[in-house]
Amino acid sequence: MIGQTIIERDFMQPGKSVAVAGQAMIATSHPEATLAGLAILEAGGNAVDAGLAAVALQGVVDPHMTGIGGDCFALYCPAGGVPVALNGSGRAPAAATCEHLAALGLASVPDRSVHAVTIPGAVDAWCQLSARYGRIGLPRILERAITAAREGFVITPRVALDWARYADRLSTDAATQAQFLPQGRAPAIGERIANPALARTLDAIAREGRSAFYEGPVARNMVETLQALGGLHRLEDFASYSATQTAPISAPYRGYELVECPPNGQGLAALIIARILDGFDLAAPDLSQADRIHLFAEATKAAYRQRDLYFADPDHMRLSADDLLSDRFIDALRAEIRMDRASPPERFDMPVHRDTVYVTVVDADGNALSLINSIFFAFGSGLYAPEAGVLFQNRGCGFSLEPGHPNVIGPRKRPFHTIIPAMVLQDGRPVMSFGVMGGQYQALGHVHILSQILDHGLDVQMASDQPRTFYTDGALTLETTIPETVWQELERRGHHTLWADAPLGGCQAIWIDRERGVLWGASDHRKDGVALGY
């Protein structure tokens, strides 16, 4: 039965047990965020309240990953209802044009440039989710985040590792250095850091809602900061921003339905991969580990090639999701795959990054939230508005500067996005809410997790624990837990392979087992987080 542990865990080996709960559950990549959301659930809040409390706190304690200077996507399914998608991705300033950046001598948008900063969409998305679907209101939701920013928080191991690894991204802006490298270096495990300016802004949002961020003193400080660096941002760009609610898109896999947000995110790429691989029997006993890795790599190349050609702000796409998921289109992509050799190398257009947080919650009433929030690269653009306490994302470097491309930068346009939440439905009802952090990897990561569960009978934690591979930037990257014999076989088929220098992604998932009346939760061992419920 899917959702229960078919393959028993060996308790002599390192690893995590799957989390099991009878009523409600939350899974995040940071222990404090999980505790914040769990406290909301226990106090009578619902899935939306808990998810927002968790992600807001992560914007404080995981500043290299996320924050109010970033963007947000969500899938929400009320108990007994159908999923809705919320696109909280920011738009380019109204004055932003390809011609302007070309006149500056740019062939692409530099990831540390002020021109990479799009209008942050997360706060408006949070406010819309809370107003439409929440139960307890922003003051209670943001309470722990405000306290952590004001009084300080303790650095956990994975946060310390990433902070030190990407500290150079904080080195070009004096205000950024002062806040995030207060002793001239990254904070170590167990050290404490605070952000009083961020606490004040969060408190204002709790009291006044979106206007406290997109208008007034906070917006003025953000605009003044960006304009001083040559940015095209204006107060009207912030005041006019609004997240967009829409219908999700989906595709079948093994009798289930994988549900994603539509573009400008890359969820459509996950659906293309799922549809391609649905035509192969990945559970076949004669299929080797190298065979499966090969198939995932080839499906990824095919899907990401379409992604880079066609995905963009939905108002500017030339082919629809229906076009790209049609039998004719998918059959043609699948027919190109050979089991005995790799297809020619592909280099994808999107910059490589790994920095996102994902939260999933299922509450006691059966409401389910799948929520992802990001500032794109580690510490985003590295640019900081000191009075507002806002570290800006750099999503604008996801734009193309190729004239005529559907994803070319333009006024008030949304760039291509990597962050994607997901759900899985069976007979129209959600059975799993999940996401896989990790930049470009996310689309493949969704299908990899789904395959581990549906093709191999693993529970959600075991599925998360499995070794990962990812074809990107001309090479097939393997986590170091892959056997060397598999590496050799992949090389024989023509793959250029590399050993990963960091873990690939990070998964959180909750499986809804209605037959037993329990929830099964996972939080990736590659992060600091935990899944907890009651």
The pLDDT, as a whole number, for residue 348 is 61
Question: Comparing C-alpha atoms, which of 150, 138, 151 is closest to residue 197?
Answer: 150
Asked whether the predicted pLDDT for residue 420 surpasses 90, the reply is yes
Average pLDDT over every residue of 29-37: 95
Q: How confident is the model at residue 356 (pLDDT cuts 50, 70, 90)?
A: confident
The pLDDT, as a whole number, for residue 347 is 66
Element (H, E) at 481: none
- Lowest mean pLDDT segment, chosen from 12-21, 74-83, 287-296, 437-446: 12-21
Catalytically active residues are: 356
User: Average pLDDT over the chain, rounded to whole?
Assistant: 94
Q: How many CB atoms lie within 10 A of CB 82?
A: 13
Task: Give residues with Cβ within 8 angstroms of 501, minimum separation 6.
Answer: none
Sheet holding 84-88, edge to edge: 244-246, 84-88, 71-77, 368-374, 357-362, 25-28, 530-533
Q: How confident is the model at residue 1 (pLDDT cuts 50, 70, 90)?
A: very low
Asked whether the predicted pLDDT for residue 354 surpasses 80, the reply is no
The pLDDT, as a whole number, for residue 439 is 85
Which residues on neighbouring strands pair with residue 506, listed in sequence order? 437
Burial grade of 328 (CB within 10 A; 0-12, 13-18, 19 or more): exposed
Q: What is the pLDDT of residues 68-95, one digit of tens each?
A: 999 999 999 999 899 999 999 999 999 9
